[in-house]
Amino acid sequence: MNSNIKSTEPSPKEGSDAFEKLAREIARRDALEHFEFLPHNSKLYRVEKSWKTSIIKDDPKVREVGSLLEFERAVCDSNINIIFIPSTALISDDGIIRVCQRNAVGKTILKEENDD
């Protein structure tokens, strides 16, 4: 076989990266169908705990927070646009609203909810 001929098949790493990117896009699209407006043009999306939330929280563009203090820091960080609140976080809807009222920046907030 001629060693100058290159294979057109993606490497396993490239295939894995492409799959992860596609899975993140599918999960994000599903999660972003319905939202509630919050103060200063932030949007709250309630997402059911599933494989999709696992993919969303592992997305490098998403900041996962576990407390109200971490949430406020993420809201104030201009490099963060998407914030993920897992179902285990002790962050109430009232706390989310108060933080959004104090900080005049629009963020996309994904709040994971158990299927109860």
| Interval 34-66: pLDDT, tens | 788 888 889 999 988 887 788 888 888 899 999
Residue ranges covered by each domain of the chain: 35-113
In this structure, how many other beta carbons lie within 10 angstroms of the beta carbon of residue 14?
Answer: 10
Q: What percent of the chain clears pLDDT 90, i.e. is strictly above it?
A: 45
Amino acid found at 90: L
**Secondary structure letter of residue 91 according to DSSP:** -
- pLDDT, tens digit (0-9, with 9 covering 90-100), for 103-116: 988 999 999 998 76
Reading phi first (left if > 0) and then psi (alpha if -120 to 50, else beta), residue 27 is in: alpha
Choose the most confident range, by mean pLDDT, from 13-22, 45-54, 62-71: 62-71
